[in-house]
Amino acid sequence: MSRALSRVANATVAETLKHQAEHQAKRPDQELYRIGVTGAPGAGKSTLISRLASRRVERGAKVAVVAIDPTSPVSQGSILGDRIRMDAVSDDPNIFIRSIPSRRAHDGLADNTADLLWAMEGHDFDEVIVETVGVGQAEYSIRAIVDTVVLVLLPESGDAVQAMKAGLLEMADIYVVNKADLPGAELMAGDIAATADRRADVEGGWVPPVLQTSSRDADSFAALDEAIEAHRAWRQARVDADQVRRARTRYQVQGLISRRAEELLEAMAEDELDRSPKEIYQALLRQLASAPEDGDE
């Protein structure tokens, strides 16, 4: 899995397509169960994931964790701190952990997250926990590619207000007020629960639970683990797997095309950009039509 991820992490579109063509036949019938954990920087996502991963392993699952790290736009360097913060579980043979520097896409998620998840299939794991830094749009995008979305919020951070404004409280399956050892957690959980309850009719019965967790209280993660199981069972009964698969494929292909368009635009000579947008657009379409796997990289 590590090799597959390395291959896809920095791959061009052509290389990604080549990898996918080679592995398409080996795709398992049963996809990994995908748990997305998102929230503001420093919300405690990595800490929470390490606790959660241990619980999932206790259930008998083989768990992969992939943290999509924000790449600093200034340094282009990625802050690869997650490894360290997950030290508690990094020796467990049933947990695979990998940090991947993200290249930001228009939707805030790394532009190749869908391809990375695709590459994680077929390696004898049961589920994957994906850590992404929420920047608003990212939460909506993660919705498209994972099964269960866990939104991690901080007490007294104004996170809840911000999230409500952005409509983010509409998209998570499970809300976690983390660092509940800090003041304000109870109050905040109440506010969110009031909003979450209103969703019940719209969402066809799933009332998103609002949990409080703290790294200082090991038991607090049991409720999160159970909430994930409950959501998984709910989904299995309610959600059309074919429809989900098609929506994911659509998102993935959309990403491949926009990345390819970006590659081509970047490679375009300066003077070609002196043409009208329409001419450039048409030239780009012609180039897109010649498949990138034909060796024009």
DSSP secondary structure letter of residue 269: -
Instruction: Determine if 99 is a binding residue for ligand GTP (CB under 6 A).
Output: no
Site string for ligand GTP, 152-191 (x = CB under 6 A): --------------------------xx-xx---------
Q: Which of 138, 118, 4 is nearest to 70 (CA)?
A: 138
The residue among 45 and 260 lying less far from Mg ion, judged by its C-beta, is 45
The residue among 13 and 185 lying less far from ligand GTP, judged by its C-beta, is 185
Q: Which of 20, 46, 132, 214 binds Mg ion (CB under 5 A)?
A: 46
Binding segment (CB under 6 A) for ligand GTP, from list 17-25, 40-48, 98-106, 245-253:
40-48
Q: Which of 20, 38, 47, 141 binds ligand GTP (CB under 6 A)?
A: 47
What is the number of other CB atoms lying within 10 angstroms of the CB of residue 252?
Answer: 20
In DSSP terms, 217 is beta-bridged to: 214
Q: Which residue has the tokens 């990138």?
A: 292
**Minimum distance, C-beta of residue 83 to ligand GTP, in the bound complex (Å):** 11
> CA 120, 147, 164 angle in degrees (round to 5)?
125
Tokens encoding 206: 């799933």
Instruction: Determine if 69 is a binding residue for Mg ion (CB under 5 A).
Output: no
**Minimum distance, C-beta of residue 98 to Mg ion, in the bound complex (Å):** 13
The half-sphere exposure of 202 on its side-chain side, counting CA atoms within 13 A, is 9
Instruction: Tell me the number of residues near Mg ion by CB under 5 A.
Output: 3
42 binds, among ligand GTP, Mg ion, none (CB under 5 to 8 A by kind): ligand GTP
Q: Are 176 and 216 in contact (CB under 8 A)?
A: no
DSSP secondary structure letter of residue 31: P
Interacting residues with ligand GTP between 192 and 221 (CB under 6 A)? 214-215
How would you class 112 by CB atoms within 10 Å of its CB: exposed for 0-12, middle for 13-18, buried for 19 or more? buried
Instruction: Give every CB contact of residue 11 below 8 A, 6+ residues apart in sequence.
Output: 19, 112, 115
Instruction: Determine if 82 is a binding residue for Mg ion (CB under 5 A).
Output: yes
Q: Which of 133, 138, 168, 174 binds ligand GTP (CB under 6 A)?
A: 133
Instruction: Determine if 173 is a binding residue for Mg ion (CB under 5 A).
Output: no
The residue among 141 and 178 lying less far from ligand GTP, judged by its C-beta, is 178
The residue among 28 and 42 lying less far from ligand GTP, judged by its C-beta, is 42
DSSP secondary structure letter of residue 117: H
- Virtual torsion, Cα 109, 111, 115, 117, nearest 10 deg: -20
Residues that bind Mg ion (CB under 5 A): 45-46, 82
Residues that bind ligand GTP (CB under 6 A): 41-47, 82, 85, 133, 178-179, 181-182, 214-215
